[in-house]
Chains A and B, each alone.
Chain A
Amino acid sequence: MSEIQFILDDKQITVDFSEKLYSPTTTLLKYLRSLKDHKGVKEGCGEGDCGACTVVVAEEINGKLMYKAIDSCLVFLPWVHGKQVITVEGLGTSANLHPVQKAMVDMDGSQCGFCTPGFVMSIFAIYKSYKKPNEDVIRDALAGNLCRCTGYRPIIDAAKEACKLRKPDQFSESEKKVVRILKGIKKQGSVKLLLETHKYWMPETAEEAISIRRKNKKALLVSGATDVALRVTKKHENIPEIIDLSFIDSIKEIVTKDGYIHIGAGLSLEMLRQEIRNDLPALSDMLDVFGSKQIRSKASLGGNIGSASPIGDTLPVLMAYDAIINLQGVKGIRSVRLREFIKGYRTIDMKSDEIIAFVSVPVPDKKVIYKSYKISKRTDLDISTVSACFSLKLKKNIVEEFSAFYGGMAAQTSNAAKASKYLLNKEWNLENIEHAAKLIDQDFSPISDARSGAEARKIMARNLLLKFFNNVHEKQ
């Protein structure tokens, strides 16, 4: 088997990898730009930082299409199997503009024009997904697109204008047909691309994935692949064997049961962010400043945990909530506390026949205060310099429980142990906090890198604790 099927704008496409025009790690961006009539999608950075390559993907969920903007430079082509890819050319032509395109023209939303197709697609995604998006929704949806000619205000105006005049478009008309075709593709079962040079598996059940993994121990697990794609686009690495977990629906669910919120590891960070806003506010606060909507819509929770980066932003928060990682293997489920699951710099306690199936977060005790922080060079779409999540339980202003998990301060995310221990059973006052802040210096010896010097990191870590104190104080 060597083929994938998808819909490109309004055409049904089959890509046969045995023809060797493309490899399974060819990015969607590269594929589209190789076509004669899809040069509208642009490469600005090749790493999901600029959004010039934004396209919209429509997925069939319960008989309806869900539209989301993604960075096509971070997509391995097989990922689009069974989906509809919508490009700026599919929206309309210069002679027959889509309402989103027309609004961009009317509001003077383009200058040099190079970022414009990407912005058009990001706006199109909200046009299809929200009835009346407010300005926060619009700004959030555009945070993953850069304009260097400084034209953001007219672009935001265009988004408002387009959504104000929202009406059914050609995609509404073709929705039923597209759903039927996509369902038809799904029915054909899971796809394996077994080629001379590359192997790319797209299992549809966890069991299938585990069985493939057992037999192919070198194969790399990906889900959103927003991190792994950089190894291809930036480092020009060849990754010969990949197991793509993004086709497994059973690990994309979220349920609250028996005192735990069980989150499927395949759930996208964007879905997660929206689902847990009320239940796990410290996590949704962190996800608000995690990557961009394009990246969050594709990146999975399991991927962020599994890559075990010291600056993986969900980790300090999930550690503060004391989340449990549930690994599915041949023998069933094995559960490990996240605090123990991360073993060191990008190393995890996972066996070669396991996958991360779901993450269980205890339903937070209402008496515990959780708060997360991220310091980066800019608010949106940036890597953490230092991140932190604090948990605090007070009884008559005495600290009953406290933890302070930091990212960016060591080779792995970890608790400021001395500072936390010091605060236990102490009065929650500025004097004690200032003393604990000093102890953070003993808890960590951070490195200096492009984002910050070591000394500045220590100052940030101390100040975050003071900020947390201040924020708790303000609330009371």
Chain B
Amino acid sequence: MKNNNEMTNIVHESARLHVSGEAKYIDDIDFSSLLHARVFYSSYAHAEIVSYDLTEARKVNGVHAVIGPDDLPSENQMGCIFHDEPVLAEGVVECVGQAMFLIAAETEEQCIEAEKLIKVEFKELDAIITLPEAIEKGELLQPRRKIERGDVEKAFKEAENVIEGELEVGGQEHWYLETQVAVAIPGEAGDLKILSSTQNPTEVQAIVSEVLGIARMQVEVEMRRMGGAFGGKESQANHIAAWAALLAAKTKRPVKLRLFRDDDQKITGKRHPFLIKYKAAYTNEGRITAVDFEQNCNGGHATDLTMSILERAQMHADNYYFIPNMKIIGNAWKTNLPSNTAFRGFGGPQGMAGIETIIDRVARNLGKDAGSIRKINFYGSRDRNITPYGQKVENNRLSRLWNETVNISEYRARRKQVDAFNKKNKFVKRGLAITPIKFGISFTTSFLNQAGALVNIYRDGSVLVNHGGTEMGQGLHTKIAQIAASELGVNYSCIKVTATNTSKVPNSSPTAASSGTDMNGMAVKNAVEKLKQRMASVVAT
């Protein structure tokens, strides 16, 4: 890289387009002969579908298709890992917001008019909403998961102190500013091009091809930029694209499905609520000797990514503390809610909240500052450095990070001020905490930890870069362009990163798990190295 300053003072590759309104999101693109789509969804949490009638809805002026489960060309299934999520509800609805019918019409208003004319007779069934209800009912989405190390029971018997309790962690709505959206454009011979606001174009391609019963080579998925995702578009963008694709295949017209905010909030899953039951043993000085966790998560009506999220919660249940005896049970309960899904941290925050609650209680019981209890339980460098799941903690730099954070934040002085304030004030209180956070970068499903890139060098010296990651505001494309420029030794302005596209870089992994830059950046680096070698051999001759 020639000019270091140019490299470090770079704004988001789309910044000028963002601020001028020129950045195109999927809903901003005009198509000729476009149809608008709408999802008719369940208003019951759990009910039998006794009968339905689509006749009147199909008669509405401007309506081109109303699709029910009987009209599907292939298997009624769109689960991303486990096949337990129907494309359209059949016989029974298992949550409010579950898709039942799809409508395509010339305008959004006509879709709404048709929606009002769909008649369904439901027979309401008992619904399970909360975790205590689900635990009582006892229906798991998938088999229980367990991580165990040491002898927890023995440690409790020998303990100086034992605490027990429960912690509830609530759900959370992603509220990406851009709601879920996809456009499906029919091509020749049954091919489809899909523009999808997705973190995972490859999975959209897979699900669309399965739902339509066509080969993946017939489905091209493109994603230029999302208006936020936060995990909400890791698996559930599949559904929106699949629904649009079904309507496009049926009508032979481009179809756009953009969820209104209210519908998006009802249809799509959220962060998993957790109910964590715990028992912990600790010494009089505050060292934790044993923890028994039962992590119960509310998975909703289908599995989606729940098991990976639950496993991540289990693998973050120790946070950054060495706990010699530990047992972590993970239960994914089925409930009558939209299937809960990935959300920033992917189970990690819920897992860490459990152990931090224990630390806090230990500190209160011993009358000590929670920070000091945290510190004496840190993983060690030479010993006390194996996690309950058997990973060795290497290059441990937490003590240094901790000391620097304590100093820079003036934690001790602030602590004194907070204590003094709280002594003086009866009604208003202040709090202060210092907490380490562990986060496991990369996928626990390890084959996903790979990426691809396509780098085109044109004869005028400009370079077009494509890779498997998606841009959702995190600046991935900016970083990729920097990597390409740096590796090629050219100016940043010579590089353009284009929309992610399954026909350019196939079989990509989702952009998730804080891995987008590391993986795709290395793929770009690898591609550039090959090109440089080829060019070098030409130059040498």
Chain A residues with CB under 8 Å of chain B are 36, 38-47, 50, 52, 87-89, 91-94, 97, 101-102, 104-106, 108-117, 120, 146-149, 234, 236, 467, 470
List the B residue with the shortest CB-CB distance to A151: B473
Query: Known: A44-B177, A108-B12. Is A89-B30 also a contact (CB below 8 A)?
Result: no
Contact (Cβ within 8 A) A97 B16: yes
List the B residue with the shortest CB-CB distance to A93: B20
Contact (Cβ within 8 A) A114 B20: no
Q: Dominant SS at the B interface? A: loop
Beyond the given A40-B22, A43-B27, A112-B473, please list 16 additional residue pairs across the A-B interface where CB-CB is below 8 A. Answer: A36-B30, A38-B21, A42-B178, A45-B261, A89-B20, A104-B18, A110-B19, A112-B228, A113-B225, A113-B227, A113-B473, A114-B25, A114-B227, A114-B473, A149-B228, A467-B427
Q: Give, as a whole number of angstroms, the nearest-CB distance from A269 to chain B.
A: 24
Contact (Cβ within 8 A) A106 B11: yes
Contact (Cβ within 8 A) B177 A97: no
CB contact between A148 and one of B12, B112, B175 (< 8 Å): that residue:
B175
A92, A106, A109, A113 — which one has the most chain B CB atoms within 10 A of its CB? Answer: A113
Which of chain B's residues have a CB closer than 8 A to the CB of A89? 20-21
List the A residue with the shortest CB-CB distance to B22: A94
Which of chain A's residues have a CB closer than 8 A to the CB of B227? 42, 112-115
Is B320 part of the contact surface with A, judged by Cβ < 8 Å? no
List the A residue with the shortest CB-CB distance to B16: A94
Contact (Cβ within 8 A) B11 A108: yes
A-B contact pairs, 25 of them (CB 8 A): A38-B21, A39-B21, A40-B22, A42-B227, A43-B261, A46-B262, A52-B177, A87-B21, A94-B22, A105-B11, A105-B15, A108-B12, A109-B19, A110-B14, A111-B12, A111-B474, A111-B475, A112-B177, A113-B12, A113-B17, A113-B23, A114-B178, A114-B228, A148-B175, A236-B109
List the B residue with the shortest CB-CB distance to A23: B109
Is B472 part of the contact surface with A, judged by Cβ < 8 Å? yes
Contact (Cβ within 8 A) B24 A39: yes
A234 CA to B265 CA in the complex, in Å? 13
Which of chain A's residues have a CB closer than 8 A to the CB of B27? 39, 43
Q: Dominant SS at the A interface? A: loop
Is B156 part of the contact surface with A, judged by Cβ < 8 Å? no
A148 CA to B344 CA in the complex, in Å? 12
Q: Give, as a whole number of angstroms, the nearest-CB distance from A448 to chain B.
A: 16
CB contact between B17 and one of A52, A94, A109 (< 8 Å): that residue:
A94
Please report the total number of B residues contacting A with Cβ < 8 Å. Answer: 39
List the B residue with the shortest CB-CB distance to A40: B21
Which of chain A's residues have a CB closer than 8 A to the CB of B17? 94, 113
A385 CA to B175 CA in the complex, in Å? 22
CB contact between B19 and one of A45, A52, A97, A467 (< 8 Å): that residue:
A97
List the B residue with the shortest CB-CB distance to A36: B30
Contact (Cβ within 8 A) A115 B15: no
Contact (Cβ within 8 A) A93 B225: no
Contact (Cβ within 8 A) B427 A470: yes
Is B260 part of the contact surface with A, judged by Cβ < 8 Å? yes
Residues of chain B from 168 to 222 with CB closer than 8 A to chain A in the complex? 174-179
Which of chain A's residues have a CB closer than 8 A to the CB of B14? 110, 113
Contact (Cβ within 8 A) A101 B178: no
Is B378 part of the contact surface with A, judged by Cβ < 8 Å? no
Is B131 part of the contact surface with A, judged by Cβ < 8 Å? no
Which of chain A's residues have a CB closer than 8 A to the CB of B230? 148
Is B28 part of the contact surface with A, judged by Cβ < 8 Å? yes
Query: Known: A146-B177, A470-B427. Is A112-B21 also a contact (CB below 8 A)?
Result: no
Which of chain A's residues have a CB closer than 8 A to the CB of B19? 88, 94, 97, 101-102, 104-105, 109-110, 116-117, 120
Contact (Cβ within 8 A) A111 B473: yes
A32 CA to B14 CA in the complex, in Å? 22
Is B453 part of the contact surface with A, judged by Cβ < 8 Å? no
User: Hey, what's the 0/1 contact readout for B437-472 against A, CB within 8 Å counting as 1?
Assistant: 000000000000000000000000000000000001
Contact (Cβ within 8 A) B20 A101: yes
User: Hey, what's the 0/1 contact readout for B52-82 against A, CB within 8 Å counting as 1?
Assistant: 0000000000000000000000000000000
Contact (Cβ within 8 A) B261 A46: yes
Which of chain A's residues have a CB closer than 8 A to the CB of B109? 236
Which of chain A's residues have a CB closer than 8 A to the CB of B179? 44
Query: Known: A36-B30, A42-B177, A106-B11. Is A113-B18 also a contact (CB below 8 A)?
Result: yes
List the B residue with the shortest CB-CB distance to A109: B19
Is B226 part of the contact surface with A, judged by Cβ < 8 Å? yes
Contact (Cβ within 8 A) A110 B20: no
List the B residue with the shortest CB-CB distance to A146: B177
A234 CA to B266 CA in the complex, in Å? 14
List the B residue with the shortest CB-CB distance to A238: B109
Contact (Cβ within 8 A) B225 A112: yes
A88 CA to B475 CA in the complex, in Å? 22
Contact (Cβ within 8 A) B427 A148: no
Query: Known: A46-B260, A110-B12, A112-B473. Is A41-B177 also a contact (CB below 8 A)?
Result: no
Which of chain B's residues have a CB closer than 8 A to the CB of A116? 18-19
A115 CA to B225 CA in the complex, in Å? 13
